[in-house]
Structure formats: structure tokens, C-alpha cells
Amino acid sequence: MRILVVEDDSLLGDGIRAGLIQEGYTVEWVQDGDAAEAALSSEAYDLLILDLGLPKRPGLHILKQLRSRGSQMPVLILTARDTLNDRIAGLDAGADDYMNKPFDLEELFARIRALNRRCNPPREEGLIRHGDLVLNLQAHTLTREGRTIDLPPREFSLLRHLLENRGRVLSRSQLEEAVYSWDAEIESNAIEVHVHHLRRKLGNQLIRTVRGVGYVVEKEP
């Protein structure tokens, strides 16, 4: 699980980062709003831990921008602002959970586990289901209502990666890494071509383009 921590307090941020790494998470820590925006625009994360009182750009602005781009990544707010209005503002802006400072790291870990269970329910072994689509990872087949849809290996890999990261906007470079080996020669529009073929077979609504960022398959309601 890859987590972005946005916290301007050096002592607290370093403590959170160290604790999460010890728990086995992959962590990136930034200390201001501009750095947070840059990280969220260029990388994919499974969870955002967000302080509200940040230099350069407030946390609520970052959260609203994230949701406006269609991201459904879980967001846990950490803040010293503990009034009812502050909590309401954060939750209304799209936060999934809210913790006041000071807090205990063990409670933070428990809340992260709860968010992960809520946002990433377990799937059947070897199968990815999305609506009426069933991706069988062992047989390397895609079916819709029992009917097999032929996918070449790279289209299959691209669809698998998008479905495994539902709700996360993935950049072209991230998708290239998932689909191609490191030494493969890649045409500049290769991912766009694969997406076009998938849309022709599966419809235009499944894979959404986020202009200037990448592609996403939304989580089911």
C-alpha cells in the first residue's frame, strides 16, 4: 500500500513516515501544498494523509482539487483544527476520515486498515469482477455475461491494471510500465491505441480520460 503523507510539522511528519514504514507501507512525505499537488499529479497512491494547515496551499484546496479530478482515493485528514465546523468542512470536501492532533499512532494504523478494507474489498481468487465483466487472471480471459471477449495480451494487461487500481488516475507512463517490459520499444501513442481498442470492444464509458493526467476506471457505487 502506497501512502502520501502531507504534513508541514517536521517532527510529526517524520514520526508518521517512520511508523508507517515500520508497519510495512510505502510512504512519501511532503511538507507543503505545492509539493502535495505535484506528487498527486504525477504519481498514484492508495491513501492520502492530509494536514489542513499547510504552507503555500491549504489542505482543503488540495482535497477539493483531488475530488474535482474524479479521484476516489481514500483521504484521512489529520489536523489541529478540532471544531465541529472544521470537521464538517473536511468531510463535505470529500475526506473519508478525520483525526485530531495529538493522536496515537496505533489508532492511525487502525484507521488506515479500516479505510483499506472499506475501499478495497477482497475479490475472488484469480478473478476481477466489475459490473458485468469478469477478468480471469489464471485463464487470461475476459467474459461479459458469459460471453468471451478476445483481448490481445497487452490489452488484457492494460485492462487488468486499470481494474486493479479502480478509482485511481494512472498516467501513461505508469500504464506503459504495467504493459511493456523495460527494454521494449514503445510507440508514443501506444497506450492511447490500446485504450481505443478496449473502448471499441467494451464501450466508451468504462475507461475515462482525465485530460492532462491519464486514465481511470471508476469504482462501482
pTM: 0.59
| pLDDT of 183 over the 60 cut | no
The CA-based angle 166-168-108, given to 5 degrees, is 100
104-141 pLDDT per residue, tens:
999 999 999 888 777 765 555 688 899 999 999 888 89
d(CA 125, CA 178): 21
- Report the largest interatomic distance among the alpha carbons of the chain, rounded to a whole angstrom: 56
pLDDT in tens, 33-62: 999 999 998 877 889 999 988 999 999 999
pLDDT class of 81 with cuts at 50, 70, 90: confident
Q: 127-216: which CATH architecture?
A: Orthogonal Bundle (1.10)
Give the residue range(s) of CATH 3.40.50.2300 domains in the chain. 2-119
Lowest-pLDDT range, 74-78, 129-133, 157-161, 178-182?
Answer: 178-182
Three cell numbers written together for 120: 478495497
CATH of domain 2-119: 3.40.50.2300
Domain span(s) for CATH 1.10.10.10 in the chain: 127-216
Q: What is the pLDDT of residue 113?
A: 87
What is the C-alpha to C-alpha distance for residues 156 and 148, in angstroms, rounded to an integer? 13
